[in-house]
Chain A
Amino acid sequence: MSTDLIPLAFLMFLVTYPSRALGLLTPWLDRLPRIGFDYLQLVGPAILAALAAVSVMVVVSDEGTPMFHIGVEWIAVLACLAVTAWRRNLLMGLIVAVAIVVIARNLGLAAIPA
């Protein structure tokens, strides 16, 4: 069994851990001005929304070029958002999103990603 990529995993850990630890382990953050905390509070919604939007709206071609994508995934994600907000239940939202995609793809209404 190959272990060639384990050093790569360790290098990836070395560049990831500092970004996770810096804020939690350094005391100066307690002295941030109020606007700094207001900014940080907004980071969560902004990044989560960016992650979701980029995941469903941008696909990368075989040549590595990002391209705009329109598909049933948009409807699925918006449905998850609506159901989660309405029922306050993420699991239910995920089930609805997956069901929409499965039905659309298996009925031939949506393309199946490569």
Chain B
Amino acid sequence: MTASAVGSSPEALTASRRRVLVDAMGIAVSAIGFGFVYGLSAREAGFSPIEVLAMSVLVFGGASQFAAVGYVASGLAWPGIVLLTALLNARHLLYSAALAPWLSGVPFRRRAVMAHLLTDEAFAISIGHFRRLGYTDAWGYWMGAIVSTFIPWTLATVAGVILGGQIPDPARLGIDIIFPAAMIGLSVGLLTGRREIVAAIVGAGVGVAVALLSSPAVGIIVGGLVGPIAGLAVPARLAHETDPLAIRDTPADPEARR
């Protein structure tokens, strides 16, 4: 597969960017809802607005921030919280590795900034965008990382901790369902063949089983590691997949697209 065969035309770029914008709107709604709920939870646990802001800017990881609120509230020692955070956020290594071939031409310092902004949402939006195009368009990464996630998440978490006392029962508004729904909705764009579908189903099943036996954090990581192995077991002739990562088909002059 070559870049031109996938979508190097201006029309393809415009169409894919439009798709990124639509997805980013959904993600922003998710980030606002989830961030607001996080702010509420942090407030209940005794976090101040400046502490919530520090967590959102420095850690920038919803699941690990939520977990930390629970453990701070229960009085867990900091080393335990830090270990849990490392475990829960270890999945980013896999995202980072998957994006590396696409972003290898980006200057080192810019990649270092990109790394801090790498989230589930940024990964899903950008990898989908790159794969649709067949080449790297860093605009998609920044949209997924900053516009749809970092800004709304950070503002919503602070709003949650400041305004939270005025909402009597957030669960009645269904805010807690936004995060899992957004995750499963984001996976739709990545289910391009039978291997991906098998990986998702096995990842979910294994994740739940392991979570019940140990903890949700461990379950998510084990599901994410085992699911792809099951996906690889699908014979290539049955896979009907797009070219994986198109690593060997990135354009000869990647800077031309940045």
Contacts and interface: CB of A to CB of B under 8 A. Distances in A.
Interface of A: 1-6, 8-17, 19-27, 29-30, 32, 34-35, 37-58, 60, 64, 66-68, 73, 76-78, 80-81, 84-85, 88-91, 93-94, 97-102, 105-106, 112-113
Given A46-B203, A66-B211, A81-B185, A113 B171 contact: yes
B1 interface: no
B245 A40 contact: yes
B98 A53 contact: no
A21 B181 contact: no
B180 A35 contact: no
Which range contains the number of B residues in contact with the other chain?
A: 35 or more
B58 A48 contact: no
B97 A11 contact: no
Given A50-B223, A84-B185, A66 B104 contact: no
Given A30-B104, A49-B203, A66-B215, A112 B179 contact: no
B163 interface: no
Interface string B67-105: 010001010001001110110011111111111110110
A1 B232 contact: no
Contacts of B207: 49-51, 53-54
Contacts, number: 348
A46 B187 CA distance: 8
A80 B185 contact: yes
Given A16-B85, A19-B93, A51-B179, 4 more contacts: A76-B177, A81-B185, A91-B22, A98-B174
B55 interface: yes
A90 B185 contact: yes
Contacts of A66: 211-216, 219
Nearest to A78: B184
Interface in B89-136: 89-101, 103-104, 108, 111-112, 114-116, 118, 120, 123-124, 127
Given A1-B48, A42-B228, A47 B120 contact: yes
Interface of B: 19, 22-23, 25-27, 29-30, 33, 46-51, 54-55, 58-61, 63-64, 68, 72, 74, 78, 81-83, 85-86, 89-101, 103-104, 108, 111-112, 114-116, 118, 120, 123-124, 127, 169, 171-188, 190-191, 195-197, 199-208, 211-216, 219-220, 223-229, 231-232, 244-245, 247
A88 B190 CA distance: 12
A43 B29 CA distance: 24
Give chain A's interface secondary structure class: helix
B211 A58 contact: yes
Nearest to B182: A94
A46 B124 CA distance: 12
